[in-house]
Amino acid sequence: MENIAPVVPEEYSRKSWKHWIDEDRDCQDTRQEVLVAESSTPVVFQDEKECRVISGTWVDPYTGNTYVDPSVLDIDHVVALKDAHLSGGDSWGAIRREAFANDLTNSASLRSVYRSANRSKGARGPDEWLPTNPDFRCQYIREYLGVKQMWGLRPSESQKAVLEYMQKICSDGEVPTLPQ
């Protein structure tokens, strides 16, 4: 009988999820594209080439605050790259990982948010983190689940339990509380 070694999942490396590419070759990388798309006022560019956004108006859904300086914003992967990796993305090739990391086809995949909010979230899912803005929590849960489903990613066991609970709370018209 042949010994078959168990498949060992690939260790997560952010470098293996190439992000902020300029897919349409218009000189705006994914970050700039999201800033342009999400500004509620016309953006101002650094120069006439229109490659880099230097001002606009963004409402961070995670905090509910408004910002005009894009340098204080991060572009958040609603399903963090590490979360995607741990929930099935570890088996994807480089092209699919890049597509996920730069997904402009689904407006819920990437969000311009205050950098501090994004960094407090880190790679955590809704079983460990929720936006401080209570008015966005249910939408965040829906968007998170939508992105996972769109990409065929599996929630972890802890995520499943919390997500089911939060979906019920949201459908009852209540607001989920921050995880303890």
| Structure confidence at residue 174 (pLDDT) | 79
Report the pLDDT value the prediction gives residue 179, as an integer from 0 to 100.
Answer: 57
Blockwise average pLDDT, block size 10, the chain, 180 residues? 57 95 97 98 97 98 98 98 97 97 97 97 94 95 95 92 89 73
pLDDT of 55 reads: 98
Distance separating alpha carbons of residues 111 and 34, to the nearest angstrom:
7
Asked if residue 151 lies in contact with residue 106, where contact means CB atoms within 8 angstroms, the answer is no
Q: Position 82: which residue type?
A: K
Q: CB neighbours of 114 closer than 8 A, spacing ≥ 6?
A: 60, 62, 63, 65, 67, 72, 73, 74
Give the residue among 1, 24, 8, 45 at the shortest CA–CA distance from 105: 24
> What was the pLDDT predicted at 162?
87
- Buried/exposed code over 142-176 (b: 16+ C-beta within 10 A; e: otherwise): ebbbebbeebebebeeebeebbeebeebbeeeeeb
Domain locations along the chain: 16-171
Q: Is the pTM of this model over 0.85?
A: yes
The tokens describing 158, both together, are 């802890």
